[in-house]
Amino acid sequence: MLNFLKTNKLRKVYTRHTGRDDMPDALRKQLEVKKAYQPGTLISNNPFVIFDTETTGLHLEEGDRLLSLGAVKMTGGRIHLGDAFYELINPKGPIPTSSIFIHGITPDIASARPPISDILLKFLDYMGHDVIIAHHAFFDMKFLNHAMQNCFGFPIQNRVIDTALVAAWIGRMEDVELIAPESCHDTRFDAVAIHFGITANDRHTAFGDALSTALLFQRFINILNKNGIKTLGQLVRIAGVS
């Protein structure tokens, strides 16, 4: 009954926010996400979507917006490169020169791309009910959920895992062979990637960073299992993002 009430609430929020009652199929999948989550599922068996974003800048409150979104799927520790996601987004606003030097996306390229509402629907359809993963996920989710709220009236419902929190947990637990003791609290992606032997290609592109994060999580699965973190519920407890 509780899940039904939450589902009905999301429908009402969407209708009130958009003035429409013809909810797209991608958004209907969001209505079932909470019910689909099974905390007892083994991490080694569960499907994940590992994603990354690029933005016009770091400050949402100052008008920065999403500029690209990339993702790959993983099941059983295997990355499915043939089922990848990558889209550029028209931010409907300026792209500072300082950020162009980082991600290489210029205004003329971005202005020819679809608006965020179209890309969100594609991404929601792509990820379905899966648990989603990012490095320092709070940043990406802040931008994604701001766009979701503006477009559809409610945030993404999927469970979110932060690989930076996983790295910090492993650093506290053990493995001096993999994490240098003097820097085990450094969770910047480049630092963590070096510790775990990941070569990050196409850095600061949404797809390149998503793939590198997937390779990192691939390394984490065995370490987590060895330390007793075997189920989704346990993973959410140590590295979940609200």
**Tokens, residue 94:** 């300026």
What per-residue confidence (pLDDT) applies to 200? 81
* pTM, 2 dp: 0.92
pLDDT score of 175 more than 80: no
Band the pLDDT of 7: cuts 50, 70, 90.
confident
Q: What is the pLDDT of residues 50-92, one digit of tens each?
A: 999 999 999 999 999 999 999 999 998 999 999 999 999 999 9
Q: What is the pLDDT of residues 30-47, one digit of tens each?
A: 999 999 999 999 999 999
C-alpha 29/C-alpha 130 separation (Å) is 10
- What whole-number percentage of the chain has pLDDT above 70? 93
Query: What are the domain boundaries of the chain?
Result: 2-241
Record: fold of 2-241:
Nucleotidyltransferase; domain 5 (3.30.420)
Q: What is the pLDDT of residues 87-144, one digit of tens each?
A: 999 999 999 999 998 899 999 999 999 999 999 999 999 999 999 999 999 999 999 9
What per-residue confidence (pLDDT) applies to 4? 52
What per-residue confidence (pLDDT) applies to 177? 44
Band the pLDDT of 179: cuts 50, 70, 90.
very low
Q: What is the pLDDT of residues 190-207, one digit of tens each?
A: 989 998 889 888 888 999
What per-residue confidence (pLDDT) applies to 181? 43
pLDDT score of 176 more than 60: no
Let me know: does 163 contact 43? Beta carbons within 8 Å. Answer: no
pLDDT score of 209 more than 50: yes
